[in-house]
Structure 1
Amino acid sequence: MSVVNISCYKFVALSDREALKADLAARCEDLGLKGTILLAPEGINVFLAGPREAIDRIVAHLHADPRLADLVPKVSLSAEPPFHRMRVRLKQEIITMKMPVIRPEAGRAPSVAAATLKQWLDRGCDDEGRPVVMLDTRNDYEVKAGTFDNAVDYQIGIFSEFPPQIAAHRDDYTSKTVVSFCTGGIRCEKAAIHMKAIGVEHVYQLEGGILRYFEEVGGAHYHGDCFVFDEREAVSADLQPARGRVHR
């Protein structure tokens, strides 16, 4: 497999989105990359595919911006590019929740690393002895491809349906540790910030989402594949395209 696929995001204040769009579009075009970059006042979301050298060069270019120096891409391989074209788009939110909860200057949501989460799930509780609840923040059709064992799933059709659902079930998480998770980290971080804002006391996002979990610890406590928003449609726990499976 010769195509390198990366995804990464960061909630960070971006006041120069037009200039950034022009710069990144030109760079990606010159490098022959395919994929999508989303730019919003709240941050950046990146999905790119191409040869290793080109990917390394665009990552170095992103890291040269002090605001993006700590971007850590999640990496997978495929035989063919999972995108047909390159787009850099301006949006109001990099993931639409329709709730004004993200303030990049206020810092990130609490997070738990994949290895630590696996330890929690192995023994059924966190380091303080609280029961651990896995909360899937993805859309219903994504969940069908696969999810963590016994995860809570509100069967939402779009992410903006999450806030009223969590408000209605907030008391379900009293005295428990909630770990919100999603594909790559962006939705579960936004969800965790919102949950903290409405009074859920012990909440973490899964650092790097399902893809980072697969990369670091494999498929332990997870069943099925992980839906991805490109032509691969889903990847298995070894981060290979889940060929021959229909997930929609």
Structure 2
Amino acid sequence: MSNVSALPVQPGAAEKSASVRDRVSPEEWEVRVKLAAAYRLAALKRWTDHIYTHFSARVPGPHEHFLINAFGLLFDEITASNLVKVDIDGTIVDDPTGLGINYAGYVIHSAIHGARPDLLAVLHTHTRDGIAVSAQKDGLLPISQHSLGFSGRVAYHGYEGVALNLDERERLVADLGDKSVMILRNHGLLAAGVSVEHAFHQLHTLEYACNIQIAAQAAGNAELIFPPAVVVATVEAQARVFKDGHGPGIARHWNALIRQLERSDTDYRH
């Protein structure tokens, strides 16, 4: 969370006269639509923290640009056209709203996009149960089918305050390593992927695993069951089909989400 935003760089007159869709490539527009859908889906699932937290996606092409939300818009106000394009160095390339971006969001997302070109999308939340698990010493517990699927795949990053220090990027990347899911201690959850669809699938499963953990712990003194190591290994192997983001299950999951979203909301496509 931050009240600091990067300064917007206004497009030239020729750019202003064209719609965002007309001035970007078809490949970029497709990513914009998917990222906007991810924002709307997060709002639908109540994963938002007002105007704070952020989802981002790398812009296809040779430039190190990524898309992120304008600072001040609610998740259910995000559209394909009002996403802000920024480069790895923090220069805003295109800001249709003129609102700039959340600087803490830039620090976190530029760190991962800069170091991990294999990860197209990076999604970060401040949900109640996600933060609750992040504040527990043992982190995500292997007590549900959902959490077991992340066995050996969750990184942890210690809390350093609001992410306004560019030096933290090095530690974020070091803690993430070769993983694509991270719990930010005392802060929230982060899930990345080779596509927006993959990242959202990972976040959906991680959020639900945290929901289950907090619900199970709410029973008080009831003893939790931890599956034996052989079962953990079995589920870890079974979940591998979702790890690289290219299996048919990812597309099925995303397509079902879009059908759910579009029963009430299609504005995100504009």
TM-score by length of 2: 0.28
Give 1 or 2: higher helix fraction. 2
Give 1 or 2: higher strand fraction. 1
TM-score by length of 1: 0.30
